Amino acid sequence: MILTMERTTRQRQAIRDALQQADRPLLASEVLEQAKLAVPSLGIATVYRTLKTLVAEESLQIVALPGENPRFEFAHGHHHHFCCQACKRVFDVHACPGDLSRLVPKGFRIANHELTLYGKCPDCA
Amino acid sequence: MILTMERTTRQRQAIRDALQQADRPLLASEVLEQAKLAVPSLGIATVYRTLKTLVAEESLQIVALPGENPRFEFAHGHHHHFCCQACKRVFDVHACPGDLSRLVPKGFRIANHELTLYGKCPDCA
DNA sequence: ATATGTGCAAAGCATTTGCGGAGAT
DNA sequence: ATCTCCGCAAATGCTTTGCACATAT
């Protein structure tokens, strides 16, 4: 199951670039749309295959919001997300609440956590 | 689009019961499986229709985790979730990190937050 | 009696996969 | 030259919907 991405191709470069140049997590369809500007023949299957591999490598992480398709972004250190309830944009938040082990009942072991904040961004407030 | 759930039926009662008796968010398939015990003829379409209506009414909330199908649970006050990385079950966590406004840059207004903890549950640790 | 609700099967979407051909090494 | 990778189209898997019948009111 572990794909190795042995080769460098125009399609993969275009997909990486699309994600790297975005300042927010992208939908698979948004990645396709953006990467097609560089490689018009690009197919959605290649986008999904590449996203899956990059997620498996932990180069990318998935941002899942209720009722929406998954978004993808390059892992860039531990961080969280702020979802504006007005404009629906998702922003990175680089602060972290820190150790949360006090929150779980005895017997549970926390390895990681994800935090999503909801509210209004400066533009919409 | 707004369905009103005017009538009480065995199927709706079974679906409500399944969710109410569970101590954790359930997949649509789990709701079906459980509710079928009470109403064997129940179909998945009715489950989805009922879940959708209950979510629209804000009686239910969706729990979305990366790479997994949505889960549903009755809204029961502010709480969070723990996802076991081994057995993939999701548990409720009734503690809360509290005020998180210190985490966001100036100009952002936090109305709500969602926290998902990952690790091992007592059974899998 | 009548309009809503249900089950079935088909349709819709997002995502995955098989395959023959294209391209990186 | 070889083996990976790509695009296409078919196949999945989850969710939604159309329709005719069942049922709560």
The predicted model gives A33-59 an average pLDDT of 97
Residue B102: DSSP 8-state: G
The predicted model gives B42-66 an average pLDDT of 96
Interface A–B counts its CB contacts (< 8 A) at 125
Instruction: Give B3's pLDDT tier (boundaries 50, 70, 90).
Output: low
Distance A5 CA to C22 C1' (A): 17
Chain B residue whose CA is closest to A52: B67
Which of the pair, A115 or B4, is modelled with greater confidence?
Answer: A115
Contact: B117, A104; criterion CB under 8 Å: yes
Identify the sign of the CA torsion A93, B78, B34, A108.
Answer: positive
Question: What is the model's pLDDT at position A90?
Answer: 86
Distance B69 CA to D12 C1' (A): 15
Q: Which of A61, A117, A120 to mutate to test the interface with B (most CBs of B within 10 A)?
A: A117
**pLDDT at residue A8 is higher than 70:** yes
Instruction: Give the count of beta carbons closer than 10 Å to the beta carbon of residue B17.
Output: 14
Question: What is the model's pLDDT at position A6?
Answer: 84
Protein-contacted positions of strand D (CB under 7 Å): 4-10, 14-18, 23-25
Cβ contact B71:B62 at 8 Å? yes
Cβ contact B100:A117 at 8 Å? yes
Cβ contact A81:B76 at 8 Å? no
Protein-contacted positions of strand C (CB under 7 Å): 4-10, 14-18, 23-25
Distance B26 CA to D11 C1' (A): 27
Distance A89 CA to C11 C1' (A): 31
Question: What is the model's pLDDT at position A91?
Answer: 87
Cβ contact B74:B18 at 8 Å? no
CA B33 to chain centre: 16
The predicted model gives B65-87 an average pLDDT of 93
Q: Which of B109, B116, B120, B121 to mutate to test the interface with A (most CBs of A within 10 A)?
A: B109
**pLDDT at residue B70 is higher than 50:** yes
**pLDDT at residue A1 is higher than 50:** no
**pLDDT at residue B1 is higher than 50:** no
Q: What are the structural domains, with CATH classification, of chain A?
A: 10-74 (1.10.10.10), 80-119 (no CATH)
**Apex CA A47: angle with CA A6 and CA A8, to 5°?**
25
Question: What is the model's pLDDT at position A3?
Answer: 56
Q: Can you spell out the DSSP letters for B6-42?
A: -S--HHHHHHHHHHHH-SS-EEHHHHHHHHHTT-TT-
- Considering CB atoms only, which of B70, B102, B122 is closest to A66? B70
The predicted model gives B42-67 an average pLDDT of 96
Contact: A112, B97; criterion CB under 8 Å: no
Which of the pair, B43 or B5, is modelled with greater confidence?
Answer: B43
Instruction: Give the count of beta carbons closer than 10 Å to the beta carbon of residue B43.
Output: 12
Cβ contact A64:A75 at 8 Å? no
- Considering CB atoms only, which of B67, B82, B114 is closest to A116? B114
Q: Which residues in chain B have their CB less than 8 angstroms from residue A51's CB?
A: none
Three-class SS string for chain A?
Answer: CCCCCCCCCHHHHHHHHHHHHCCCCEEHHHHHHHHHCCCCCCCHHHHHHHHHHHHHCCCEEEECCCCCCCEEEECCCCCEEEEECCCCCEEEECCCCCCCHHHCCCCCEEEEEEEEEEEECCCCC
Task: Note the pLDDT tens digit of each residue in B17-36.
Answer: 999 999 899 999 999 999 99
Residue B105: DSSP 8-state: P
